[in-house]
Amino acid sequence: MSLKRRDLLVLGGLSGLGLVAAGKTLSRSPEQVSGMPQTVSEPPKTAGKELMLRFVAVADSGAGDRNQFASANAMAGYHKKNPYSLVTLAGDNIYNSGEMERVGIAFEEPYAPLLKQEVRFRACLGNHDIRTENGDPQVRYANFNMNGRYYTYREKDVQFFVLDTNGNADWKDQMAWLNAELGRSTAPWKIVYGHHPIYSSGHYGTDAEMIRKFAPLFKQHQVQLYINGHEHHYERSTSIDGTTYLVTGIGGASL
């Protein structure tokens, strides 16, 4: 049984983290179908349980300080009550310069309870990550589950497209790849994530060049959600041409 676009439920909160759950849990009137639901509610425990995908979206997490541990503890506490199997890690995974010698304090220790429960983290590269060997050691690091600098994977009825949005990215080939992969995807839900914001009201603000690159593509291929970090806060847009923009840069870095 396929899920429909209107069944994507975005949940904010979790101590400022972005929690996203996909499932047959919500009915809306026709005039609401083009946008994301604005009322936050927990999905029923039994409705569409076998179809639901629940995951945490976080970014700018790799500080290795008490703020990151507090954020990680909130994630672990929620997992005990509402198990999930995936964390999208949208860049700046290791501060300050992506040094792999800090991966213990900046990743393995804070998230040890989740890693022990076999929760998978799927990362992309942030601007701090590429300061060391252009981020290549992180791409090779098994617990980040990166199938390249940009890649795609599917979880149930949701397909994720993970980008390298840094200034030195291979933009020409990456954009051609994204267009092709979005076009061939049969997933009812398509979610794209990268480190840098497209729409934001934060320090860096809305990026006109990123809008030019991505907005027409997202509209053409009916991408329902874009997730990013870089801005150290939580923010969610209303639907813009069918796409909601979710800023989740509150994994532990200073606000």
106-145 residue pLDDT tens? 999 999 999 999 999 999 999 999 999 999 999 999 999 9
What is the model's pTM?
A: 0.84
Mean pLDDT over each residue of the chain, to the nearest integer: 86
Domains, the chain, with CATH or none? 5-248 (3.60.21.10)
Lowest mean pLDDT among 7-11, 71-75, 198-202, 247-251: 7-11
Q: At what angle do helices 208-221 and 171-184 cross, to 10 degrees?
A: 20
Which pLDDT belongs to residue 51? 80
Which pLDDT belongs to residue 7? 38
219-250 residue pLDDT tens? 999 999 999 999 999 999 999 999 999 999 98
CA atoms within 13 A on the CB side of 41: 13
- Pairing outcome for strands 189-193 and 225-228: parallel
131-188 residue pLDDT tens? 999 999 999 999 999 999 999 999 999 999 999 999 999 999 999 999 999 999 999 9
Tokens encoding 253: 């870095």
Contact 227, 88 (CB under 8 A): yes
Cα angle 248, 22, 79 (rounded to 5 degrees) comes to 65
d(CA 53, CA 33): 20
